[in-house]
Structure 1
Amino acid sequence: MHLYRERAEMSPDTIGFALLLLGVLLLLAKIIRVKWRLAQRLFIPSSIIGGGLALILGPDVLGRVASAFGADGFTESGLFTADILEVWGSLPSLLISVVFAALFLGHRLPGFREVSTVAGPQIAFGLTLASGQYVLGILLALLVLGPVFGLPVLSGALIEIGFEGGHGTAAGLGNTFAEFDFAEGQDLALGLATVGLLSGIVIGITLINWAVRTGRTTELHQNATPSVTEQAGLVEKQRRRSAGTLTVHPSSIEPLTLHFGLLAVAVIIGWLLLSALQWVESFTWAGTIELFAHVPLFPMAMIGGIVVQLAIQSFDRHEVVDRQLIERIQGFSLDTLIIAALGTLSLQVIAENLGPFLLLLVTGLLWSVLSLVLLAPRMMPDHWFERGIGDMGQSLGVTATGLILLRIADPELRTPAYPAFGYKQLALEPFFGGGLVTAAAIPLLANFGAGWMLGGMVVLLIGSLAVGLLHFGRRRQPPGEPATVPFEQA
């Protein structure tokens, strides 16, 4: 029997119940995380566990098992109805705009000199990782995925979309994939994002242990491991802090409501910008190519967030915007997005394209790991492992993956890795990992072909490598000297 009775038309009750089910799955996932030691040791997020539960109970697992045993009532959509799965399928493209609109809200936007001083090496290394994913992916598409497996050249963007972009970006580009007759690309990208996130944690912790044993870390030493409470995803009572600050009195407006309103304004600004660009394009070159017509909303919502933050820095004298509340809304949106995206993931598509999927997966993993081990020591002037491990984790999953690994390698945040990572995000997020370049990659490949995209990324890869190796790498300090930018100053 289904959890909810099917109806002929989508109703508000169906939408509400679909959202409630996501909350129940997330709660069950957190209980599993607290009780399951393997999930704790691997730092698997509850959203991934919840998404796995939704996937198992859905049509591709429970539905197929039920079909094999003749239980026809579960074959179409598993334990859920088709309407619930339809609601879940539409959520990621909505929530990803909220996630990206929140990236810069509440963060003081630094000046160019400040960013370049603290995060110059980090930006060069991050650009190397991102552009390299495109170069290797497009070469793989041209040489193997197309000729051998018959996939379009658009598959060359899957490594960056799935790994650097993560679940949110992969889900948010669903309509773009469909518009260019590559709907299976979304499922492949979501699969890469899932395996990449888990691999990022497992490989990252393995590399941290290796670096500690071989003396490559500057702060973490042998036997310094996270506590049982931290592995369970709990915060010890004596270390707990408020999830937000009451910057306005609730009698006038609930602080959470105020911050949601700011995010709404950021998303609307992004929508207006995208609509304006699409209108301009319709009167210029739309007769020959279309670019902005296929760009999704979320990168423009991020620009809207920057516009709102600039206004806040200029006019918010009372400092009513609290970054922690923004992060709570962003975190809720991302958790809900991930579980909804995984719950509607098509395992059949991945199974039908298992060869290309494995090739993309192995290529992306090798590039990130080898970049950390071989390039980071030569591109970072100091604390190369702490700086590099965060970028490697983020290039395989999401920002949270990089931060988890960074905090394990530098638990007291004594190195410049944490502020450099944050400034690097400010510089690169507008373009890669779900930014404008990521969003435009599919239309660019479709309209201009692989040659132009490959050539541009090769130039960017060579340039970032040159800056990192020949400029920042030569600033390496003698052992024993302090970091160029202590964390306290940053």
Structure 2
Amino acid sequence: MSIESLTIDLGLISILLLIGIVLRAKVKLLQKLFIPASFIAGILGLIFGPNGLGLLPFSELISDYPTILIAVVFAAIPIGAAKVNWKEKFTKIRNMWFYSMTLTLLMWPAGLLVTYLILEHIWTLPTGFGFALGAGFLGGHGTAAAVGEVFNAQGWEEITDIGYTAATVGLLAAVVGGLAIIKRNTRRKQTSFLAEFDDLPDDLRTGLIKKEDRASSGTDTVSSSTVDPLFFHAAIIGGVVLVSYYLQQQLTDWFPDLSFPLLSLAFIMGLIAQLALRKSKADYYVDKRVVTRVGGTATDLIVVFGITSINLAIVADYAVPLILMFVFGVIWAYAIFHFIAPRVFHQNWFENGIFGFGWSTGTVAMGVALLRIVDPDSESTTLDDYALGYTGMVPVEVAIITFGPLLIISGLGLPFMIGLFVIWIVLMLGCARAGWLVPKGTLRKRFK
């Protein structure tokens, strides 16, 4: 890749994102559906890019960007994390941790379930076809790229496009399905903070925040006379990703038959970097809000590049089984929301549950978007609980992303799927026995 290609790719993506922001701010339909600007930009890139009309001169490497960008997202997760007194916080975050584990252990094998039971008996499908559902819905475009990286090493390159398609459909399902759920449950008085859906503030609809409602994105922790504070934080994450990349190359040389996803190594290196920062007292100069902004920027770019790079010809080859798998995935995600969320959360079950629905279909970003609709003033503790609970769940997610494809390629996909379900059942029974779940009397009152 030349510097000119990189400049053109980033420039075109920037223009598409700006167009997406303007369209969201001006087009009523997009406002009613709360379509993210990154999704709009990605669709425009798909239509006018090399896989569509061919009017936008993207390079041939646009499908490779998400692999690096998702490493940025995972490297940023541990950086700047505050110390947590788990003994004090455990009671508060335990149920969110269990719900996060539920989404992880049930959504990842969902595609494998419908593939093994139905789809592969009708169509001839590549190994790992069903794994794309969890990668796209729960993980998003970046995770789909990471999973595709492992399968690509084994000669199946189509999985990346199928994963990107799953992530794109998942975003749309999160928006449309999430809004339908919110409208229905608002009428049923299930929401804690939202009385009428039509009374939502304009900034949520247009995406533009009024001056009096604006908040800071972070605090300067180093003097700009030394280095710009934003670059200081980006440099830490960039260093972690670079070390992870060279570690990946070394591990590949040592174990040529194995594949090591860059995002998994980036998360591990991020943990090590955070420990080093804390030991040296340098974490005092790391602002988690700025780190989050860097990760958020990478997430938006992942969505645009991922959608733009979808190969429609490959998607067309598997159109019918894909549609059936996606329909099953949405129903499965709704079932988790409808049957499990009310039994897990003692307070604000709907707010926590709709966040989980958005996450399980359209990634965490869509979960946050749906949560802001039902809890515009952040009166619930959903995101705080999630941030702490996620710390205990992410190693499981990283393990699934790292070893899941290898097990499937080795012919152990069925035991892998069953194993995840068994772990969840044991976890569910343990939580019920420990008294974590909502009593039956309270549950009946919720659904009167």
Normalised to the residue count of structure 1, the TM-score between the two structures is 0.84
1:141 and 1:152 in contact (8 A); partners too: no
Q: Which residues in structure 2 correspond to 1:293-304 (within 5 Å)?
A: 293-304=258-269
Q: Within 5 A, what are the aligned runs for 1:24-173?
A: 24-62=15-53, 78-81=54-57, 84-114=58-88, 116-173=90-147
Q: Is the contact between residue 266 and residue 307 of structure 1 (CA under 8 Å) also seen in structure 2?
A: no
2:331 to 351, 362, 366: 366
Q: 1:351 to 1:329 in 2, by over 3 A?
A: same
Is 2:290 the partner of 1:325?
yes
Q: Kindly indicate whether the alpha-carbon contact (under 8 Å) linking 1:141 and 1:153 is maintained by their aligned counterparts in 2.
A: no
| Distance in 1, Cα, partners of 2:164 & 2:195 | 36
Deviations 1:195-225 (A, max 9, x none): 1112112211221222221122222223563
Q: 1:229 to 1:459 in 2, by over 3 A?
A: same
Name the structure 2 match of 1:445: 408
Hey, what's the Cα distance between the residues in 1 that align with 2:110 and 2:217?
Answer: 41
In the other structure, the counterpart of 1:397 is 362
Q: CA deviation at 1:307?
A: 1.9
Q: Is contact 1:380-1:468 (8 Å) kept?
A: no
Partner of 1:346: 311
Tell whether 2:6 aligns with 1:18: no
Question: Deviations along 1:202-251, whole A, 9 cap, x unmatched?
Answer: 21122122222112222222356321232110111001123332211111
Q: Secondary structure at the match of 2:78?
A: coil
Q: 1:105 to 1:175 in 2, by over 3 A?
A: same
User: CA offset at residue 114 of structure 1?
Assistant: 4.6
Partner of 1:211: 185
Mean Cα deviation higher: 363-372 or 373-382: 373-382
Equivalents in 2 of 1:245, 1:349: separation in Å?
46
| 1:323-365 Cα deviation digits (max 9, x unpaired) | 2221222222222222112111111111110111112101110
CA deviation digits over 1:411-444, x for unaligned, max 9?
A: 2323332322222222223332xx2312321111
SS in 2 for 1:472: coil
Which amino acid in structure 2 is aligned with residue 152 of structure 1? P
Output the CA distance in 1 between the equivalents of 2:441 and 2:230.
46
Percent identical residues:
30
> In the alignment, residue 345 of structure 2 is paired with which amino acid?
M
Q: 1:270 aligns with which of 244, 251, 255?
A: 244
Structure 2 CA distance for aligned equivalents of residues 445 and 112 of structure 1: 36
The CA distance in 1 between the partners of 2:85 and 2:419, in whole Å, is: 27
Letter in 2 for 1:11: S
Q: From the superposition, tell whether residues 362 and 156 of structure 1 become closer, same or farther in structure 2 (CA, over 3 Å).
A: same
Q: Deviations over 1:262-291 (max 9, x none)?
A: 1023224434654565566x3xxx7xxx4x
Could you say if the C-alpha distance between residues 13 and 318 of structure 1 is closer, same or farther in structure 2, counting changes exceeding 3 Å?
closer
- The verdict on how the C-alpha distance between 1:373 and 1:469 changes in structure 2, with shifts beyond 3 A counting, is farther
Instruction: Name which of 451, 455, 460 aligns with 2:423.
Output: 460
Partner residue, 1:245: 219
Aligned partners of 2:59 and 2:119: how far apart in 1?
31
Note closer, same or farther for the CA distance 1:359–1:40 as it changes in structure 2 (3 Å cut).
same
Q: The residue matched to 1:301 in structure 2 has which SS?
A: helix
Corresponding residue of 1:73 = none
Which deviates more from structure 2 when the two are superposed, residues 317-326 or residues 158-167?
A: 317-326
In structure 1, distance between residues paired with 2:190 and 2:431: 19
Residues 382, 476 of structure 1: 8 Å contact kept: no
Q: Structure 1 pair 469/358, CA: closer, same or farther in 2 (3 Å)?
A: farther
Partners of 1:336 and 1:120 in 2: CA distance? 32
Secondary structure at the aligned position of 1:364 is classed as helix
Segment of structure 1 superposing worse, 163-172 or 11-20: 11-20
Alpha-carbon distance between aligned partners in 1 of 2:161 and 2:181, rounded to the nearest angstrom: 29
- Alpha carbons 2:107, 2:360 under 8 Å: kept: no
Moved over 4 A (4+): 272-280, 474-479
Q: Which amino acid aligns with 1:306?
A: L
- How many Å apart are 1:163 and its aligned residue? 0.5
Q: Are 1:473 and 2:447 counterparts?
A: no
Partner of 2:12, secondary structure, is: helix
Distance 1:57 1:368 in 2: 32
* Counterpart in the other structure of 2:446: none
Query: Residue 232 of structure 2 corresponds to which residue in structure 1?
Result: 258
Deviations 1:293-314 (A, max 9, x none): 2121112101222222223333
Q: Which runs of 5+ in 1 are unaligned?
A: 1-9, 63-77, 480-490
Q: Distance in 2 between matches of 1:170 and 1:265?
A: 23
Cα deviation, residue 143, structure 1: 2.5
Give the AA of the match of 2:96.
Q
Paired positions, count: 442
Q: Which has the larger radius of gyration?
A: 1
Contact 1:98 1:267 in 2 (8 A): yes
Maintained 8 Å contact 2:147/2:405: no
User: Which segment drifts farther, 338-347 or 413-422?
Assistant: 413-422
Deviation at 1:382, TM superposition (A): 2.4
* Corresponding letter in the other structure for 1:29: G
Q: Distance in 1 between matches of 2:351 and 2:64?
A: 38
CA distance in 2, matches of 1:225, 1:427: 37
2 CA distance for matches of 1:379 and 1:421? Answer: 14
Rate the CA distance shift 1:111–1:154 in 2: closer, same or farther, 3 A: farther
Q: What value does the CA root-mean-square deviation take over the aligned residues? A: 2.3
Instruction: Report the alpha carbon displacement of residue 369 of structure 1 after superposing the two structures with TM.
Output: 0.6
In structure 2, what is the Cα distance between the partners aligned to 1:223 and 1:165?
A: 28
Using structure 2 for the length normalisation, give the TM-score: 0.91
Amino acid in structure 2 at the alignment position of 1:155: F
CA distance in 2, matches of 1:382, 1:473: 11
Q: Which residue pairs with 1:315 in the alignment?
A: 280
Tell me how far apart the structure 2 counterparts of residues 112 and 138 of structure 1 sit (CA, whole Å). 35
Q: Letter of the aligned partner of 1:149 in structure 2?
A: W
